[in-house]
Structure 1
Amino acid sequence: MDILRMTRRQHGDLVVVSLAGEVDVDNVSQVRACLDEAASAVRPRLVVDLTGLTFIDTTGLGVLVRQLATLRDRDGTMALVAPDGQVLRRLRRTNLAPLFPIYDTLSQALA
């Protein structure tokens, strides 16, 4: 099992949260707390970089969907960076991909 690593940084008016390792039921509360804190601004704009994730389970996907709904209620936005791989396949397989703007690279998401 890969240890979860999370970083958060400001990029202009965007907050970029990068997740690396694995997101599962054992650490999803840490992810939720990190995203909640990152989205605490008025009209938050959030980019979640999933490039470094090797695995995400349904609890992790649920946190992303709930965060998106919360942000939309607050007139905020959330985009994902998920290049082709396990995470993107899981988003597509669960029919969640159409909910999010998804970019191949962080540079594209920030443009």
Structure 2
Amino acid sequence: MGVDVLEMTRRQHGELVVVSLAGEVDVDNVSKVRRCLDEAVQTHGPRLVVDLTALTFIDTTGLGVLVRQLAALRDRDGTMALVAPDGQVLRRLRRTNLAPLFPIYDTLSQALA
């Protein structure tokens, strides 16, 4: 791998903050993802939606960051939802038994409703 094809965007939506990840999350760039999520929460508050629609791959280190972020938000009475339409990312969440931890939506508009 080694090619950094990850794109991250962040925007406020009412009291929610949406972080969209596109491309691949792996051990090479997972620290950037962690930093982006931390900054989003620090700036906009503890209600996070992570949009994985455009994510083509996530490895176990990436999943670990999501789980740790969820735990940190719960400590602050925050929330964290994922947008993961059917595909590789959702299958991986299910296979690792992490899916039940999160509210998971098919589309961003559902998550924001």
Instruction: Say yes or no: TM over 0.5.
Output: yes
Q: Secondary structure at the match of 1:75?
A: coil
Match of 2:35 among 21, 33, 55: 33
Q: How does 1:13-52 map to 2 (within 5 A)?
A: 13-40=15-42, 44-52=46-54
Q: How does 1:52-67 map to 2 (within 5 A)?
A: 52-67=54-69
Deviation at 1:42, TM superposition (A): 7.8
For the pair 1:110 / 2:112, whether they are aligned, the reply is yes
Amino acid at match of 1:44: P
Tell me how large the CA RMSD over aligned residues is: 1.3
* Separation in structure 1 between the aligned mates of residue 62 and residue 55 of structure 2, nearest angstrom: 11
Structure 2 unaligned blocks of 5 or more: none
In the superposition, the TM-score normalised over structure 2's length comes to 0.95
Amino acid at match of 1:92: R
Structure 1 unaligned blocks of 5 or more: none
Aligned length: 111
In the superposition, the TM-score normalised over structure 1's length comes to 0.96
**Does the 8 A contact of 1:45 with 1:76 survive in 2?**
yes
Which residue matches 1:11? 13
**Does the 8 A contact of 1:22 with 1:55 survive in 2?**
yes
**Does the 8 A contact of 2:17 with 2:44 survive in 1?**
no
Q: Secondary structure at the match of 2:62?
A: helix
